[in-house]
Amino acid sequence: MLSNTQTDKLLDDCMNGIITSAQLTAQLSADSNEVADKLMNEHLVAVTAVQQYSLLKQVEQIHQLYAPAKAKTVVHPMFTLKRVMRIAAVFLLALSTWLFYEYSTNTYNRLYNDLFTAYSVNEVRGNESGQINALVDAYRSGQYSKSAALFATVENPTSRDLFFTAMSYLRLSKPADAVPLFNKIYAYNKLQGEGLYEDETDYYLALTWLKLNDKQKAIELFEKIKADKEHTYNKTIPSSAIFKIKWFAH
Amino acid sequence: MMKIAETNLIAGLKQADINRPVQELYKNHFESVTYYLQSLGGNQEDAADVFQESILIFIEQVRADKFRGESSVNTYLTGIARNVMLNEIRSKTRRNVREEQYAAAENEEPVDEVLHRMFSKENSTRLARLFDAVGDSCKKILKGFYFDDLSMRELLQYTKYENEQVLRNKKSKCMKFLKDLISSSKELNETLKSYLKYVK
């Protein structure tokens, strides 16, 4: 019985013509030519594979130098530099347009008009005295000059008198005259231990500061209102209003 | 009559080391042939692949003395490349049609009488996979013996084995392993057998 190495050598010799097919069959002690032929064919197939592979490898090495780089399946990243720049440019354009619009539209006066809501006079509170009723009645009927003038006749004014007189000055576009009256409401309430018209004063004094172009004082009051969930005017002021006042009011 | 340069090229392709003549073929013909192939409908990458296959076929034909220098290398090479390209286009069309039809058509796959696609992309990939499985040490021995035509004594100098007998035993084992792998790969086995019939 021949070893694999001996068989391999015989097959090589037959392939190279050193021995004949008949000699191969004899030396392999094969039962028939068919067995030898089968071994020889398998051997030739394997040798052909080696030769073809080696040839392929040699040519491939040179091919790499000349062939175009194979088009790689490039998965385009979502954000290439070009795309990022384009998005940034669009964003900047939109931002600058918006900034320009907000800046040009948000004057103190415009913001004041947007936020101002006419104060409805509480009927229940109007029965204390004839003079007071006259001041409030004048305010209710839109006679702001009259209601403001009537304040001078009131002895020991309450927070109610102070408030409607201040509101009258505000409606008369005399915000500077309204400020000391609103401030007196705080002092009066403190003295009396009351809280009447205090929420209203916060809100309308803030608007008064806005009308007077005093951004800082207006913001302080608006933020105070927004911070207090129970405040009467908490829901009246949109958060965006404070943002606009901070950044665009001019 | 062949030019001297072409005569030398052909002689070079019959040697074991074909590095220089193949470089020359690429340098002189790659651009013009691939340009022509693209005019037949292939893209740049397809054309380059077909050119490589054509070079391999050309080498085989030169070694089998089928190229007699009756036309220039460029004309001959372009002719091979054209056939490969058209064959490739036909194969693709057949594949597409077959996919749409039924499996009976599988038996109609023709063996090209003019051209053997031993080095088609598919077959080249199968060969590469086969020898990846064989391993580097076996590849080195088998290539040295069967392709570079080295004797066992010469081969011993390039390997780590103690003596010729050990190397011979190793080579025998490598061949057995290779034969087993080939017999387990139906497509490659058939391709190699049909190629052997083709070159006989």
pLDDT in tens, A74-113: 445 555 677 788 888 999 988 888 887 777 777 777 888 8
Nearest CB neighbour to B195, from listed A48, A68, A70: A48
Cα(B54)–Cα(B25) distance, integer angstroms: 11
For the stretch B10-20, pLDDT in tens is 999 998 888 99
For the stretch B15-55, pLDDT in tens is 888 899 999 999 999 999 999 999 988 888 889 999 999 99
Predicted ipTM? Answer: 0.86
DSSP label at A123?
G
Confidence band, pLDDT 50/70/90 cuts, at residue A169: very high
- Whether pLDDT at A124 is above 60: no
First to last CA, chain B: 27
One DSSP character per residue, B156-190 reads HHHS--SSHHHHHHHHHHHHHHHHHHHHH-HHHHH
Any CB–CB contact under 8 A between B75 and chain A? Answer: no
- Whether pLDDT at B111 is above 50: no
Cα(A180)–Cα(A166) distance, integer angstroms: 8
Cα(B40)–Cα(B34) distance, integer angstroms: 10
Which residues of chain A does B26 touch, with a Cβ-Cβ cutoff of 8 Å?
A: 62-63, 65-66
Q: Percent of chain A having pLDDT more than 90?
A: 30
Cβ-Cβ contacts under 8 Å for A66 (sequence gap 6 or more): B26, B30, B48
Q: Which of residues 2-61 of B touch A (CB under 8 A)?
A: 18-19, 22-23, 26, 30, 44-45, 48-49, 51-52, 55-56, 59-60
**Amino acid at the residue B3:** K
* pLDDT score of A74: 47
* pLDDT score of A249: 72
Cα(A26)–Cα(A32) distance, integer angstroms: 9
Cα(A146)–Cα(A154) distance, integer angstroms: 13
For B124, other C-beta atoms within 10 Å of its C-beta total: 21
Residue B64: HSE in the Cβ half-sphere, 13 Å Cα cutoff:
11
- Whether pLDDT at A29 is above 80: no
**Amino acid at the residue A229:** K
- Whether pLDDT at A235 is above 80: yes
One DSSP character per residue, A142-180 reads T-HHHHHHHGGG-SS--HHHHHHHHHHHHHTT-HHHHHH
Minimum mean pLDDT range among A130-139, A210-219, A239-248, B63-72: A130-139
Please answer yes or no on whether A46 and B175 come within 8 Å at the CB atom.
Answer: yes
Which residues of chain B does A60 touch, with a Cβ-Cβ cutoff of 8 Å?
A: 52
Minimum mean pLDDT range among A53-57, A142-146, B94-98: B94-98
For residues B89-108, give the mean pLDDT: 58
Sort A78 into a burial class: Cβ within 10 Å, 0-12 / 13-18 / 19+: exposed
CB of A51 closer than 8 Å to CB of A19: no
- Domain ranges within chain A, ordered by starting residue: 4-66, 108-247
**Mean pLDDT of all residues in chain A?**
83
Q: Tell me the CATH number for domain A108-247.
A: 1.25.40.10
Distance from CA of A9 to the nearest CA of B (A): 8
* pLDDT score of B54: 94
- Domains in chain B with CATH codes: 4-108 (1.10.1740.10), 121-199 (no CATH)
Confidence band, pLDDT 50/70/90 cuts, at residue B108: very low
Confidence band, pLDDT 50/70/90 cuts, at residue A69: low
Cα Dmax for chain A: 145
